[in-house]
Amino acid sequence: MMGICKQKIIHVSRFIYVLLAMTLVSICTVIFYDSDLHRHVRVISTARISSNGTKELQHAIVSGMKAIDKGLNKLEVVSLRGAVPSVINRLSEIVTNFEHRVLNFNVDDILKSLSDIPFEESRLVHKIQQKQRNADFKCVIRITKYCSKRCDHIVQRIHSTEWTRFSCDVNEACQVETRFVGNLTREIMQSSDVLFIVSSLHQNLQLERLVASRPPGQLWVLYSRESPSHDPEYAPQGLTGNPFNLTMTHARDADIHFPYATTRERKQGEPPSIPKKTKLIAWVSSNCQLLSWRRGEFVKELQQHISVDTYGKCGSMGKLAAEDTAKTLKQYKFYLAFENSECRDYITEKPWRNSLSQGVVPIVYGTKREDYEELLPRNSFIFVEDFSNMSAFVDYIHALDEDKARYREFFNWRSESTVYFTRSSSFSVKAPKVNMCYLLKKLVHLFFHPETSWQKRTPDFASWWRGQCDDPSTEKNLLGFSVRPTKKNKKNREENNVVHR
């Protein structure tokens, strides 16, 4: 009888031992997301609870504990993997949608088990792997930021045009060098592992020449905050395939989404009060050129039905000094945040800087309603296309003007969120040790996980780039007004051929 009880106690204790071990290892698996831990959990869960399975169980648990120690060491040793809050905060200031899976991606572990990566397939990955296998290999990774004739405008003494050197955790033994380059000589092209193409180069881009001189294995990053209507040179006629390995644009389906602004959680303090309003609608614009739609003419049509004060080069009330803009706009209840291009996800500073951050309700037009809903604060804007005609729109604005309670509902978001702006040059100019290291990790991650790559999903770049914008040749009415350019206006636009904001 005692023997039976002893045997049952042993069985129960082993069962509890297994449960405790599985629980501990499972928790650590979730925390560290390590494939070795998954394997050890499976071994422990299948270990036989018998005298013959005791050693197997003990070995599995010991191995699991070693894997846990290994996971702990990984997070403590490297900089971006398991990044500390200061690094995360610095990165999140620039990249609004950075990925923890990229930060925690362990390049060394993957490369150890693979055969040699050809130089022609990826210079970046090839160099990292060679340094891992040969300590004497001279590993220098060069990121060239091509800015053509815009270098002076972009750099502005903030960043040197000489090589800036640092190291990244893709392989800390490799030296990373980055600089801005206006003239891509053959020597620079041949020595560059990553070509970072900055925004708004326009006719100075000369993409066909770059494609012809591109060395094998060089990775290309497209960085553009402008609409494809402004930068058609990125997809010239005759371009086939997709030359870009990674994209950073305003489009949400890009590898790295780079909006003009976003909202962040308000952590403390009371939301700012709504400024006292004495005027109805304002519009500021200094781009009077004909765009993809008749923006200026549409504003003039609005003025025939409702009070709209216009400022800037295109307005009747003169140009606003920078220091007076905010003070002036805060007096208005509404602001016409009309984009100059009708392109998907293309939302510039207009609803952000001139409206939401000033305590003004933006009246928006440019992209689709669902894009505004995704990117702007909830219930914070008025979408022009919601109204079938001019009188319906005018009546709605007047009704809000007279109903203070309804008007104030457009500012409910301010109790939870605050506006955060990202500068166009922030990623390429500021904190290269953080931003460029993240970029390298993202490129390596895409190499090993092509299923997550925008390039793989978008084999025809030209169709994707041009397809983001509405066709300006098609008819479209806004509040009953035809907003597409006439043939005469199209001809004038082609003659001017000048891109303005």
Quick one: 116 and 178 in the same domain? yes
CATH code, 172: 3.40.50
**How does strand 140-146 pair with strand 194-197?**
parallel
Distance CA 22, CA 17 (A): 9
Q: Are residues 140 and 273 in the same domain?
A: no
Task: Give a yes or no: residue 472 inside a domain.
Answer: no
- Assess contact for 87 and 79: CB atoms under 8 A: yes
446 in the same domain as 387:
no
Sheet holding 279-284, edge to edge: 308-311, 279-284, 332-338, 361-365, 382-383
Choose the final residue of a domain: 358, 392, 419.
419
Maximal C-alpha separation, the chain: 105
Ramachandran class of 289: left when φ > 0, alpha when ψ lies in -120 to 50, beta otherwise: beta
Cβ neighbours, 10 Å, residue 422: 17
DSSP secondary structure string, 63-85?
A: HHHHHHHHHHHHHHH-SSTT--H
Residue 322 resides in a domain: yes
Q: What's the pLDDT score for residue 41?
A: 37
Q: What's 374's domain CATH number?
A: 3.40.50.11660
The model's pTM is: 0.75
* CA separation for the pair 354, 286 (Å, rounded): 14
Q: Which domain holds residue 155?
A: 100-258+425-466
Tally the domains of the chain: 3
Is 64 part of a structural domain of the chain? yes
pLDDT of residue 375: 94
How would DSSP label each residue in 346-402? ---SHHHHTTGGGT-EEEEESS-HHHHHHHSPTT--EEGGG-SSHHHHHHHHHHHHH
Q: Which helix (H) or strand (E) element contains residue 322?
A: helix 322-329
In sequence order, what E strands does 193-347 have?
A: 194-197, 219-224, 246-249, 256-257, 261-265, 279-284, 308-311, 332-338
- Between CA 252 and CA 258 the distance in angstroms is 8
User: Concatenated DSSP letters for 132-189?
Assistant: HH-TTS--EEEEEEE-GGGHHHHHTTSS-SSPEEE--TT-TTSEEEEEEESS--HHHH
Structure tokens at 437: 């290291």
393 plus 285 within the same structural domain: yes
- The pLDDT, as a whole number, for residue 6 is 47
| Residues in the chain where the model's pLDDT stays below 70 | 1-100, 154-161, 423-432, 486-501
Which residues have a catalytic role annotated? 226
Same domain, 393 and 288: yes
Strand partners, 140: 175
User: What is the percentage of the chain residues whose pLDDT exceeds 70?
Assistant: 72
Distance CA 337, CA 384 (A): 10
Pairing of strands 361-365, 332-338: parallel
The pLDDT assigned to 117 comes to 92
* Whether residues 441 and 455 fall in one domain: yes
Whether residues 457 and 390 fall in one domain? no
What span, in angstroms and rounded, lies between the C-alpha atoms of 370 and 344?
Answer: 10
